[in-house]
Structure formats: structure tokens, C-alpha cells
Amino acid sequence: MSGFSTTATTAVHEEAVPTSFDEATLRALCDLDCAMPLLFDRIKQSMVSAREAASFLKKRAAIEEDYARSMLKLSRSSAEAYSNGDGKAGTYVGSWMGLMKVHDQLADARLRFSQKLAEMSDELANLAKEVDKQRRFARETGQKLEKNLQDAEQGVEKARSRFDSSAEDLERLLLVKQGESAKGGELQSTGGNSGGKRTLGKAMGKTGLLFKQKNPQQMLRQEEEIRVKTSNASDAFRKEVHQTQQMRQEYFNMQLPRILRSLKESAEEIDNGTQYHLMRYAFLYESLILSDGMAISPHSSAAIGAAGAPESSAGGLKRYIESMDNRGDFKLFMQNYLVAHGRDYRGPKREGQYDDGFVPPSPGTISKALSAPHQQHQVSQYPIFGVDLVTQMARDNVEVPPILEKCAAAIEAVGIQSMGIYRLSGTTSKVQRLKQKFDQDWSQVDLMNDEAINDINIVAGCLKLWFRELPEPLLTYELYPGFIEAAKISNYRLRHIRLHERVNELPDSNYATLKALMKHLDAIRSHEASNQMSASNLAIVFGPTLLSPPISAGDMNGGAGAMQLQDMSFQCKAIETILEKYKEIFVEDPEE
């Protein structure tokens, strides 16, 4: 197969599907007598495998198409039903319609995936048909050439038989002549060679009848005829042998290698074609899963409209839900309800004339009831979420961010063996409540005596949220290209060295924070047997957060998301390598 496109998935494996012809195997086949039937049987097996793969892809495409059309039908019917119903308005309706749009996008992506699978199935089936035609043609050609060679060999045997027959006739005639000439001397040498007499008598016994009653002139003429016949038979025999030898050499040295090359090329074509389409299926499926993940929770920030709902589908499923403002919606509903129905209310009233039995309310009680709940929501002067890392560390005069120290200590004390730590998320509302406590006054947060310690995933989720809300990723926008290029290096040792160089270029605050985080994650992965969090799994969690591309003005339309999707495997690879080589990169003192 030619024209195979390389993909980001196979970038590190330059010849996952080999395209060069295997000459060494062809030379080995040419030395085998059973090379043709061997290749015929192999191509049959390859065609069965290719057709089975094509059938799988077609059925897979049908499943994806049914799923996509059902999701599309559901999202549109749900959006229409909500539009015609009496559901909530405000930010909720915008978020709900956004949810339906995201599901439309997911369905469209599945439909495109289904179409590509169907195309791949057809291409693979057509490839199997084409290879089958080539196999049949090669079989017919090979059988024809073999038959010609066999016919030539049979011709040699027939010519040999004719020559042997003529030679035997000549020998018999010569024996008869020898017998006639020996009659006269037979009387004079009775005590001669008895063995010769017996041989001559035996030959004469076999051939005497053939030349009985022949005079010498007739025997001489017959001898000449037989000698001419024998000479002609000998010439014909030599000619047949020469022609057959030429045909055999041409067959084994030219025609058979050509047929074997054609069959081997057909075998490689269908094998490589099947492997290519299966690799393409894996890449498309991976892209689809990553696309679904980006649609649910995109890494780049989405534009938020004035009403609180995302302005475009770039917000993602998760952010549409997070953008719901239930309190604001309720206040708006309350205002609209008062305007629409307040004057028509006929039940008990709060205020009225003293003469009608109304008592004025106590102002102290109302002020206490209104002011007490808001004391805990005062704005902090020293927030740590969404604040530049260098700024907050210089402000708080710390070497390592306090939230990282506190959360890491709590997790290592309580949750280091928790299954799926960092991969599982805690309850969003409780994570937000812990975030507010850190923003209010991080020095007063005691995680070991906090309600969050009952679910260690809340603490882990709060730490991930802090890294995610940094204005600039921990590994910085400036060094992003260098980290990605280093992660693309296939040689493990060289990749480690290049990543080490990039880490050393980080600002002091970022370097210290990364060192503390890697030390903590190294402790987490040391308990992989119980928590199932290997370096690879931890890199998948932290890779896109610690290392993400810069967002420019043009990236708000999807450019950053495309780059994020393209580089995601290398982001994870970079963090995984740094974590695996934590001690070589960060730990200088063996006792540390």
C-alpha cells in the first residue's frame, strides 16, 4: 500500500506499517519448491482476516450511527419540549439549551466517525476483492507456465523413447550381421569363447525372426534406413532437451520469481492495508474520545455572556452546568412574580393600619436575621485562588505554596492508599466551600479537623482546582514549546535530559512548587499497588493542567482547543517523565 498518511499517534513509530518490499523473504521463497501454494494459502488467510475486519468496521459504523441519531433526536426533542414547557427561565434555560447544543455536537462527531468507519470498511472490502483478482490471475499464469514446462518434459521423454527404440533396432541389426559373419568361423573354433556364443545365440534368438529371409543387400539397405532414423531421433532428442532446458531456466530464473514477487506484493498489500485501516480506526476512536472529553470539559476558558451563560459552544458541558445561577434566577423570578401577581394576592398581608389590628415589626430582630448569614462571606484581602504564583508566594513570604503543603500532608496522612486518588473528584459544593476557606485565610485552615477530611477526594479536588485556576500554568507559557519538543523525543534518556534542562529554566517560585508537587506525587505512586495511580495515570490528571498552550485572541474560536487536543499526549508524556525521574531532576542531596 502506498500513500499512507502519518498521524500524531504514530509519529514515534515511523514504520508501524512497513512500505518497503521484503527482498530477503522473496529470495528465500524462490528457493522453495512449494512457494506458490504457500503464497496462495497465505493470501487466502489474509483475505479472510481483511473481510472480517471490514465486517467489524461496518457493524461498528452502524452502531455509532444508531447511537448518534438517537442522541440527536433526544437533544432536539428535549430542547423543543423545554421551549414549549413551563420550566425555569434565566441562566438555567441558557445553560439547558447549551447542554442540548453540546449533545448535538457529540452526535455530529459520532456521525462523522460512523461515516469514516463505513468508508474504511468499503475500502478494505475493495482491497480484498482486488487482491483476490490478482491472486487468481497469478494462479492461472503459474498453472499455464507449469503445464508448458511439464508438456516440454513429456516431449523429452517421448523423444528419448523414439531414440532408444531406433538404437535398439540398429543394435539388433548389427547383432544379426555379426551372427551371419560368425557362422563360417564357428566350425574352426569349437573350443573358443563359450560366453560369446551364448550371447550371440541369445541375441539371434530374439531378433532372428525380424530379419529372417533377408539377403545381404536388403539388410544393408535396412541398416542405412535404421541409421538415418536413429540419427534423426538423436537430433530430435537433443533439440527437445535443449528447448526444455531453456524453458526450465526461463521458468525458474525469470517467470517464477515474477509470479512470486506479484503474489508477495499482493500478500503485503492486503496485510499492510488491513493493519493501516485498523491503526486508522484506533486513531479516529482516540480522537473521538478526546473530542468528547473536550466537549464535556474544555481546558481553555470559555467566554461567558452578560447573563452568566456561555456565549458559544466553547463553554463545554461542565461549564454550562456551572454557569447556572440559581440564586440570581430566583431573585429575578421573585421580582417578576411581584410585578405580575403581587397586586392580585388576596391572602394575609404583612403591613396595614394599626386600627385594622396590624403590629409594626421589630427592626432589631430583622437586622440581626439579615446580617448574621453574611458575616462568613466577607471578601479576603489575601486570596490564593486565581492569583499569580510569584505574587502570592512573595506576598505570603513562603517558599512553597501553603495550600500545596497542607493538602499534600493531609492526603499522604489519610488518603495515600485511596483508590483513584486525584482521578476521582469530590463533591463540587464541598470543594468550593474548602476553596472559600483557603481564600478567606489559609493560615486558619486545619484540614485534619475539617469536614473535608471525611472525603479525601475533596482535598485532592481543591488542590487540582488551585493549579487549574492559576493565571499561567505552572510550567509557564514561555517554556511550553520547549517542554513539548522535549516530550516528542522517542529516546527515553535524551527526553529525560531535555526535560531536565527545561525544568531548570523555570522561575524560582515555579521550580520550588513543581519540586514539592513531584515529591508528593512520587509518594502517591509509590503506593500504586493499593491506589492504582501510576506515573502514567497521574500524568493524565496533571499533564493538561500544569502544561498548556498560551491562549491568544484567535484561540477563542477553537484554536487553543485544537492545539490542546493535538499536544495532549505529549503534555502527559512530559509530566510522566519528570515524575519518573523526580529524584534525578530535583533531589541533589541523597539524604533529602
Q: In Å, how far are 161, 179, 418 from 186, measured between CA atoms?
A: 36, 10, 121
Boundary of a domain, candidates 296, 316, 341: 296
Whether residue 247 is contained in a domain is answered as: yes
Same domain, 274 and 407: no
Same domain, 266 and 402: no
Whether residue 236 is contained in a domain is answered as: yes
Whether residue 591 is contained in a domain is answered as: no
Spatial distance between the Cα atoms of 172 and 168, rounded to a whole number of angstroms:
6
Whether residue 304 is contained in a domain is answered as: no
Same domain, 114 and 243: yes
Spatial distance between the Cα atoms of 381 and 441, rounded to a whole number of angstroms:
9
In which residue are the cell numbers 539524604 written?
591
User: What amino acid is encoded at 562 in this protein?
Assistant: A
Same domain, 34 and 155: yes
Tell me how far the alpha carbon of residue 362 is from its chain's centroid.
72
Overall number of domains in the chain: 2
Spatial distance between the Cα atoms of 13 and 10, rounded to a whole number of angstroms:
5
Phi and psi of 116, rounded to 5°?
A: -65, -40
Whether residue 11 is contained in a domain is answered as: no
Q: In Å, how far are 389, 393, 400, 566 from 396, measured between CA atoms?
A: 11, 5, 10, 38
Same domain, 287 and 411: no
What residue numbers bound the domain in which 123 lies?
A: 23-182+199-296
Return per-residue pLDDT of the chain as tens, 592 residues: 434 344 444 443 445 556 666 777 777 777 777 777 888 888 889 989 999 999 999 999 999 999 999 999 999 999 888 888 888 888 888 888 888 999 999 999 999 999 999 999 999 999 998 888 888 887 777 777 777 777 777 877 887 888 788 788 777 777 776 766 555 454 444 444 444 444 444 444 444 545 555 667 777 787 777 788 788 878 777 887 877 777 777 777 777 788 788 888 888 888 888 999 999 999 999 999 988 888 888 765 443 333 333 334 456 888 888 888 888 888 888 877 777 776 666 667 665 554 455 555 544 444 444 444 444 445 556 789 999 999 999 998 999 999 999 999 999 999 899 888 998 878 888 899 999 999 998 888 888 888 888 889 999 999 999 999 999 999 999 999 999 999 999 999 999 999 999 999 999 999 999 999 999 999 999 999 999 899 999 999 999 999 988 876 445 444 455 566 678 889 999 999 999 999 999 876 444 4
DSSP state of 304: B
Q: In Å, how far are 127, 219, 226 from 173, measured between CA atoms?
A: 69, 8, 9
Same domain, 166 and 29: yes
Boundary of a domain, candidates 263, 296, 329: 296
- Per-residue cell: 392: 502570592
Which CATH number covers residue 429? 1.10.555.10
Cβ of 91: how many Cβ atoms within 10 Å? 20
Same domain, 249 and 108: yes
Which CATH number covers residue 164? 1.20.1270.60
Boundary of a domain, candidates 239, 271, 296: 296
- Give yes or no for a contact between 310 and 99, defined as CB atoms under 8 angstroms apart: no
Spatial distance between the Cα atoms of 367 and 364, rounded to a whole number of angstroms:
5
Whether residue 9 is contained in a domain is answered as: no
- Per-residue cell: 80: 423543543
Whether residue 262 is contained in a domain is answered as: yes
Phi and psi of 420, rounded to 5°?
A: 70, 30
Same domain, 117 and 226: yes
Whether residue 489 is contained in a domain is answered as: yes
